[in-house]
Structure 1
């Protein structure tokens, strides 16, 4: 029994390979500013990111934006059965292929843009688990370029709400890097200065945790900001039981005037002359209309959505109404 436990935690030894720094020099790779690229060369840090994802042995991983492959090596080193990397920049493909050739089918390389890639059909059907059971041994991991991190996260949240894309396998866990300020916004609780609509959208669908911060000086080239590593696990039951786009519209509207009373944001959900509907939301949701948006709990946003959905079901054209 002791031997079996030891085997599950022993790292897989990779064959001798050029270091990440060697690959960067060999293929003359330079981070492109327009793509918000920053390389993480320190394998201790890539190992730490992978450890934050949880046990990956015999698991399946989709890594987004592997670049020169530092995190990829850490994923393979801990014994993932298959790592699928999605890389938009073809300059990194030869170095990734060199790594793939050394691990006998455990690395699959997709040249493409994750924003245009559904993330379905990546892994075998036997990796799928029921949504209401434990999360599958399937993971999304990525040192995301700053310019696509938020669009990707919102896209994944939408997929999560519908159990599509990477979430066809069940409650796929995500371990992702963001600018430190964005990471703080994702996990911010009520009354905290970084509380925003992103906080509510992530927390109504996920358990979120800011694992640790990586100083900017650890990256090449050094960004102007530090980087936060965030772990997100989908909830079995979302805390707001309405379609993603409706929730996003309500939360976006309320936070439109972040420092104003939340009643001001609720008002832009409706035509200007329908003050009666604004009063209805305030009255039946049970919220304090003088509260600021960042002072409302997820449950209070859920009640606002409940009343708004009821109004939309009986008032033609209200859901289609846009403030601007």
Structure 2
């Protein structure tokens, strides 16, 4: 075996390069799946190095593709690596890596959105939530098409302490489009401040580690890529159910260029909208003329706490969705138009003659 490298004591034996793997198995990135391959092992090594020490850590890699980051992880002296890959075309290349690292790499042909990672690693790695993070780490070069829904899913898992977070405060190092990465870390008042900023930062310490130029990927995406690190907080900054926080934040940011009272008003039925919105803002001590991007986490905490009390007073309030109200109005309007439109036909002489007993 080769001498120890900078990422750990274990080193893979000589293998075909990632470009050679791609050529050998006739692999092509599928645009519809927003696949982009990172071929530069210096960059994959950097991702793994920036994740922190992985010595004796159980790693869960999502979307390994042809195995660039997978190689760097295997060289980091890990305990075990589980990769979940949906695309069958990549399995043979990953199997070559598994053969080269006996007992280190477990390949799962499946969907990261449904795979039960909580059953993948031994119980002894589990930690109490209040303890230091466990020896478990999620790493992935995420396809752009799944990156946002996946991180929202994992953030909800953090709030519930389930999924990958049954082991404790599992750390994550993930790639996103640069714009999404900037939203995840955006501070109060920033133009990039968004729903993602609040949902990530109320549950995690979030750090944008570095940016990878798009030209490093094959095929070259139209955007650069940001590498983002997440460490779940011991105590969330908003102590309310995830779905409630998500509802408040989504409503605020759907009118991001308006004053915040505009989006908050959509939390309430039209008949009580003005009064309830005013009450929410007053009790939360939030200036109604603040823009959504200028609301701090403390503002959102106050809004969520007050909205929760209002929902406790009126249990039907939480299930209210203004879009459903709009659909009902449109349906009634359409039914009225259809009814008026059918009147001439009903009153038409031929119809009357047809339906009138002789």
The normalised TM-score by structure 2 is 0.87
Max Rg structure:
2
* Partner-residue secondary structure (3-state), 2:169: coil
Deviation at 1:308, TM superposition (A): 0.4
Indicate yes or no: 2:304 matched with 1:305.
yes
Q: In the alignment, what sits opposite 1:231?
A: 229
Alpha-carbon offset, residue 11 of structure 1: 3.8
Which of 44, 59, 64 in structure 1 is aligned with 2:42?
A: 44
The corresponding residue for 1:288 is: 287
- Which of 13-22 and 225-234 deviates more? 13-22
Q: Cα deviation per residue 1:252-276 (whole Å; 9 max; x = unaligned)?
A: 0111110111111111000112122
Gaps of 5+ in 2: 324-358
1:12 aligned partner? 10
Cα deviation 1:25-74 (Å, max 9, x = unaligned): 10010111111110000000000011111100110000000001010110
CA distance in 1: counterparts of 2:225 and 2:271, whole angstroms = 45
SS at match of 2:93: helix
State the shift of 1:118 in Å.
3.0
Following the alignment from structure 1 to structure 2, what is the Cα–Cα distance between the partners of residues 110 and 10? 25
Q: 1:189 maps to what in 2?
A: 187
Residue matched to 1:218 = 216
Q: Is the deviation greater in 249-258 or in 117-126?
A: 117-126
C-alpha displacement at 1:119, in angstroms? Answer: 1.9
Runs of 4+ with deviation above 4 angstroms: 6-9
- Supply the distance in 2 between the matched residues of 1:170 and 1:262 (Cα, whole angstroms): 35
Alignment of 1:245-264 (within 5 A): 245-264=243-262
Higher relative contact order (CA 8 A, sep 6+): 1
Task: Determine the structure 1 residue equivalent to 2:84.
Answer: 86
Contact map agreement 1:8 1:57 (CA 8 A) in 2 = no
2:105 corresponding residue in structure 1: 107
- CA deviation profile, 1:272-293 (whole Å, cap 9, x unmatched): 1212211111111011111001
Q: Calculate the aligned-residue CA RMSD, in Å.
A: 1.3
Q: Is 1:128 the counterpart of 2:126 in the alignment?
A: yes
How far apart in 2 are the matches of 1:9 and 1:142?
Answer: 18
Aligned mates of 1:48, 1:95 — CA distance in 2: 22
- The corresponding residue for 1:314 is 313
Q: Alignment partner for residue 169 of structure 2, among 168, 171, 175?
A: 171
Other structure's SS at 1:48 match: helix
Quick check: 2:259–2:289 contact (8 Å CA) kept in 1?
A: yes
Please show how residues 132-147 of structure 1 align to structure 2 within 5 Å.
132-147=130-145
The TM-score with structure 1 as length reference comes to 0.96
Q: Which residue of 1 aligns with 2:322?
A: 323
